[in-house]
Chains A and B, each alone.
Chain A
Amino acid sequence: MDIAELHEIAQQARDRRKPTRIRCCTAAGCLSSGAAAVKTELAQAVKTAGLEDQVEVCSVGCMRFCGHGPLVAVDPSDTLYAAVTPTDAPSILTALNGGKATAAQADPNHPFFAQQQPIVLENSGLINPESIDDYIAAGGYEPLHHALTELTPEETLDEVTRSGLRGRGGGGYPTGLKWATVAKMPAGQKYVICNADEGDPGAFMDRSVLESDPHRILEGMAIAGYAIGANHGFIYVRAEYPLAIQRLKKAIQQAKRYALLGSQIFDAAFDFKIDIRIGAGAFVCGEETALMHSIQGQRGTPRPRPPYPAESGLWGCPTLINNVETLANIPAILRHGGDWYAGIGTETSKGTKVFALTGNITHTGLIEVPMGTPLRQIVADMGGGVPDGGRVKAVQTGGPSGGCIPAHLLDTPVEYESLQALGTIMGSGGMIVMDDHTSMVEIARFYMDFCKGESCGKCVPCRAGTVQLYDLLTQIMAGEATREDLDQLEALSAMVKDMSLCGLGQTAPNPVVSTLKYFKQEYLDLLLPASNRSGAPTVATLS
């Protein structure tokens, strides 16, 4: 494979296109709403109308408006149909010639779409995720070619450093720095891991990227491998995402066939192969040391760091672990340059962030916005606020490790630091809107139930602490708790946070702490009336 061949494949793919394209979303969300039948009917309708020369019906990835699926888009008229049923198919064809379609139309100029800035999702909904030719036609694998043939590994690394990209899995660690640490380790066996163990409940950004644009991840991993000197990559993906696994497997096969994975890629002195490892349902495996244990066939328990994976990771070798969205940014950074990327977003948080907008909101789905976008813009303008005129009470970010942001603070821009200052975290991108019917104590208990069940049991503060916290929250919910219990809840939260071994335990109390910070009255209202007074003795704390 060389650049001429790559361009030829791209040209051929473009030449094969027909004047009118009917794009059907076949990501998991729309498939669950019956997208497969819609696509079959559309193809049949094209055949019946004898328009096969003019019109093609193709499968594409996520079109983001997930709450209104199945979605169908028509090019070049830029029409988007929502909640399409198989019976709508003939009328969608009639509409090509000025007729009226029976399916409802969504407005592509709605703020939900208009205020997005797709980088990670630039191909999502436009290309067929199961076609490498489509990806190449969209400019895919050119960034890899650019890195391998025109840049040294150091220069490749430098682009990523200059982009200011930070880890999108939640931690926000500078990606360039992480790469540099692994690159500096003595030459020898090194690994790249793509963390696709998207476990936060309410988050489906990574699933969507994997299902919609799998080659992007392979390319990002290969570029990372080149920059740090690794020749082997693993994608650790949750078993709950069968479609993503299937498409990744297919993508790897296709890339191998085109010699875009394998030996001497683009005739450069660079070999890279990728294997898939499928999780088995353990949230803690999103933690990097636990994830590595799991890849090695062991129980997914974390270990203390240092040594960090960059020094001693898989089988003791230097290992780079990046999240799906982080890696999905890499091809764009190599294509347009680190400085271009650094021009998007804010001073400390560069680029864009993908959020899965769900909960009590009118428009659920995926949004990709520049860092620094105010939460209110996301929730009220893009998401359309709470349905039926309800009021937003809080927005939860960061999953079980995050916290709830009350409605009056929604003007906060989306940035790593600003969210942290509010007692929550950016997290991987789940954003759950809660209306005023939601009990915040119940939400805290919900997350604690999650953490209690997902604690791996290795360290006592997390294993026992989450159980005690859950019991206290249950007691409060039942109206059987006293002020002393509430004080104990606070003290224990601090203890679990300070003393747990890994991120799961250290952040497990966050939903409790943040709801106590902003919604304490709800806790107080549930306490036994007689004991509702302050100044009671508290349990011993460690501080």
Chain B
Amino acid sequence: MPISSLPSQLKSGSPPAGDSTVQDEHRHFKVLDVTMKRHRHQPDALIEVLHQAQAAFGYLELEVLAYVAKGLKLPLSKVYGVATFYHLFSLKPSGAHTCVVCLGTACHVKGASALITALENELGIKVGETTADNQVSLMTARCLGACGLAPAMVIDEVVSGKQCPDTALEQIRALSGK
């Protein structure tokens, strides 16, 4: 698919639609091209390429999957199958901030579900959803391996341990400046 035919729709957290967004997309596709070239367009590199695509675009929209499929000479069904198989690949845009609550056993035993309930109530969304203003996505992780700090949560890639509902809410409110 030629790059020019790709929609330049807004992704959450991006600046308003305009030249800069289009330029961003061009740059992201270039990154993707470089990655595929580095892997000599081998179909075996699909997961590596999808990681790179998600890092560049933020999520994997269908157009990106089609581009990867063409680049690696794979059927789109196969690329879609792999992208939907793995939890870390997202086909939907996420909010400007991400909040991930660890649901590993140690965190579970130490009250992670209370964190989730508090955050769901505060944000008015369920796990896996993004707030209507596209500010916060609430997610869970199987285990962060930060079990010594249970219960743990990650806000925008920063892990904080030994949380309780109050400290978790405090952090979330700080994000939106409330």
Which residues on the A side are within 8 Å of B31 (C-beta)?
Answer: none
Of chain B, the residue at the smallest CB distance from A242 is: B157
- A282 and B48 contacting across the interface, CB-CB below 8 Å: no
What's the Cα separation between A298 and B48 when bound, in Å?
11
* Chain B interface residues toward A at CB < 8 A: 42-48, 50-51, 81-82, 85-89, 103-106, 108-110, 141-150, 152, 158-161
Q: How far is the CB of A520 from chain B (nearest CB, A)?
A: 21
Of chain A, the residue at the smallest CB distance from B140 is: A453
- B143 and A199 contacting across the interface, CB-CB below 8 Å: yes
- A278 and B147 contacting across the interface, CB-CB below 8 Å: no
What's the Cα separation between A418 and B146 when bound, in Å?
29
Chain-B contact segment, one of A27-35, A159-167, A492-500: A27-35
- B51 and A207 contacting across the interface, CB-CB below 8 Å: no
Of chain A, the residue at the smallest CB distance from B87 is: A281
Which residues on the B side are within 8 Å of A295 (C-beta)?
Answer: 44
What's the Cα separation between A200 and B145 when bound, in Å?
9
Q: How large is the interface on A (under 10, 10 to 19, 20 to 34, 35 or more residues)?
A: 35 or more
What's the Cα separation between A446 and B150 when bound, in Å?
16
What's the Cα separation between A532 and B162 when bound, in Å?
40
A378 at the interface (CB under 8 A from B): no
* Known A358-B147, A364-B150; further 16 A-B contacts with Cβ < 8 A: A29-B146, A33-B149, A33-B161, A201-B103, A201-B108, A239-B88, A241-B145, A282-B87, A297-B46, A299-B82, A358-B150, A359-B106, A360-B109, A399-B105, A430-B105, A454-B142
- B149 and A32 contacting across the interface, CB-CB below 8 Å: yes
User: Interface readout for A37-74 with B: 1 if CB under 8 Å, 0 if not?
Assistant: 00000000000000000000000000000110100000
What's the Cα separation between A87 and B161 when bound, in Å?
20
Q: A33-B161, A399-B105 are in contact. Are A204 and B88 (CB under 8 A)?
A: no
**Partner pick for A200 among B45, B143, B158, CB 8 A cutoff:** B143
| Chain A positions 159-207 with a Cβ under 8 Å from a chain B Cβ | 198-204, 207
What's the Cα separation between A207 and B145 when bound, in Å?
7
Of chain A, the residue at the smallest CB distance from B51 is: A278
What's the Cα separation between A298 and B51 when bound, in Å?
13
- B143 and A282 contacting across the interface, CB-CB below 8 Å: no
Q: How far is the CB of B164 from chain A (nearest CB, A)?
A: 15
Which residues on the B side are within 8 Å of A364 (C-beta)?
Answer: 106, 147-148, 150
- A67 and B149 contacting across the interface, CB-CB below 8 Å: yes
| Chain A positions 414-436 with a Cβ under 8 Å from a chain B Cβ | 430, 432, 434
Of chain B, the residue at the smallest CB distance from A301 is: B85
**Partner pick for B161 among A32, A203, A239, A277, CB 8 A cutoff:** A32
A409 at the interface (CB under 8 A from B): no
- B86 and A300 contacting across the interface, CB-CB below 8 Å: yes
- A283 and B142 contacting across the interface, CB-CB below 8 Å: yes
Q: How far is the CB of B162 from chain A (nearest CB, A)?
A: 8
A352 at the interface (CB under 8 A from B): no
Which residues on the A side are within 8 Å of B103 (C-beta)?
Answer: 201
6 tightest Cβ-Cβ pairs between the two chains A and B: A66-B148, A280-B86, A281-B87, A201-B104, A297-B46, A281-B88
Which residues on the B side are within 8 Å of A360 (C-beta)?
Answer: 109-110
Q: A297-B44, A359-B105 are in contact. Are A203 and B143 (CB under 8 A)?
A: yes
18 pairs of residues in contact across A and B, judged by CB atoms under 8 Å: A32-B152, A67-B148, A69-B149, A201-B108, A203-B143, A203-B145, A239-B51, A239-B88, A297-B42, A297-B46, A299-B85, A358-B147, A360-B109, A360-B110, A434-B109, A438-B109, A446-B108, A456-B85
Which residues on the B side are within 8 Å of A124 (C-beta)?
Answer: none
Which residues on the A side are within 8 Å of B45 (C-beta)?
Answer: 297
A296 at the interface (CB under 8 A from B): yes
Q: How far is the CB of A246 from chain B (nearest CB, A)?
A: 13
Which residues on the B side are within 8 Å of A69 (C-beta)?
Answer: 148-149
Which residues on the B side are within 8 Å of A296 (C-beta)?
Answer: 44
- B105 and A240 contacting across the interface, CB-CB below 8 Å: no
Of chain A, the residue at the smallest CB distance from B88 is: A281
- A199 and B142 contacting across the interface, CB-CB below 8 Å: yes
Which residues on the B side are within 8 Å of A438 (C-beta)?
Answer: 109
Among the interface residues A278, A283, A298, A358, which one has the most CB atoms of the partner chain B within 10 A? A358
Q: How far is the CB of B108 from chain A (nearest CB, A)?
A: 6
Of chain A, the residue at the smallest CB distance from B103 is: A201
- B82 and A298 contacting across the interface, CB-CB below 8 Å: yes
User: Interface readout for A266-302 with B: 1 if CB under 8 Å, 0 if not?
Assistant: 0000000000011111110000000000111111100
What's the Cα separation between A279 and B82 when bound, in Å?
12
Which residues on the B side are within 8 Å of A298 (C-beta)?
Answer: 46, 82
